[in-house]
Amino acid sequence: MQDLVDLVRYPLDQPNSKSWSALVQCCQADLTRDGMFNLPGFFRRTAMDQAVAHLVQLLSKNAFVHARRHNIYFKKSIEGLPEDHPALTEFETSNRTICADQMDQSTILRLYEWPQFARFLAAVMEKDVLHTMDDPLARVNVMGYSQGQALNWHFDRSEFTTTLLLQAPESGGAFEYYKDLRSDTDPNYEGVAQLLTDRLAPKQMPLEAGTLNIFKGKNTAHRVTPVSGNRDRIIAVFSFYERSGFQFSDEERMGFYGRVS
């Protein structure tokens, strides 16, 4: 695995070492403070270049174009909110998606299936164990964003998201977020409305290619701004769950990927 990951800087292969424990504690502190942590330079440049060369071809020929108009909740309506409430403002989102079953045995899948990767993430998230996903489509996705494409404001369904930026665009494609805009007990519709009407200023986090990012987005609003230039923004998304055997429904697969198998 050392050909893919900088194991000197990030010793995921040494779970019983002091350096591994120190890394976990540092990541946990960042999660508490910022709702995320970043490991810049996590993925080695040579591995990244190989992955991008492979994925660019797939994205240009075999990707599913996922374009939709949505509000921040991905729901047509919210009980108790009028249809014209600014918290229900709709935006355009568009990207191209490659699924795990299209990647062969790529370096991205090698990393995902490496047991020490899931063990490290479980320790940081204070979980007993995390499992890779059984779903042949959803377990790992690669998203490509070209000129004008963006991932607009939303909250995540899952507790945390694990991503690896493989290629940064020439400009745009910035990750913006507003931490803890809502809670499990308070939807804070007025605060959401203020963000969507530019009365709250989100934070922006620059990311370099090769950076591993773990982000708690269930209650933190976030987006990726439109990409500009001739170089795509390419990012891998890894899915882990506390229970084994997890798969999407056929309806979810069709919605995300335009196919069920």
pLDDT in tens, 8-51: 999 999 999 999 999 999 999 999 999 999 999 999 999 999 99
So what's the pLDDT on residue 106? 85
User: Taking 90 as the threshold, does the pLDDT of residue 85 lie above it?
Assistant: yes
* Residue 60 in this model has a pLDDT that exceeds 80: yes
Largest CA distance in the chain: 55
> E strands, 14-111, where?
36-39, 64-70, 91-99
Q: For the chain, what are the domain ranges?
A: 18-257
Q: What is the pLDDT of residue 206?
A: 84
- pLDDT for 28: 97
Whether pTM > 0.85 for this model: the answer is: yes
**Residue 126: which pLDDT band, with cuts at 50, 70 and 90?**
very high
For the segment 60-75, the average pLDDT, to the nearest whole number, is 94
Residues 222-233 pLDDT 10s: 999 999 999 999
Distance (Å, whole) CA 214 – CA 145:
20
Q: Is the pLDDT of residue 164 over 90?
A: yes
pLDDT in the model for residue 104 = 82
- 157-184 mean pLDDT: 95
Indicate whether 105 pLDDT > 80: no
Distance (Å, rounded) from C-alpha 181 to C-alpha 69? Answer: 22
| CATH class of domain segment(s) 18-257 | mainly beta
Res 207: pLDDT: 87
Higher per-residue pLDDT: 206 or 254: 254
Give the pLDDT mean for 174-178: 95
Taking the C-alpha atoms of residue 169 and residue 63, their distance in angstroms, rounded to an integer, is 18
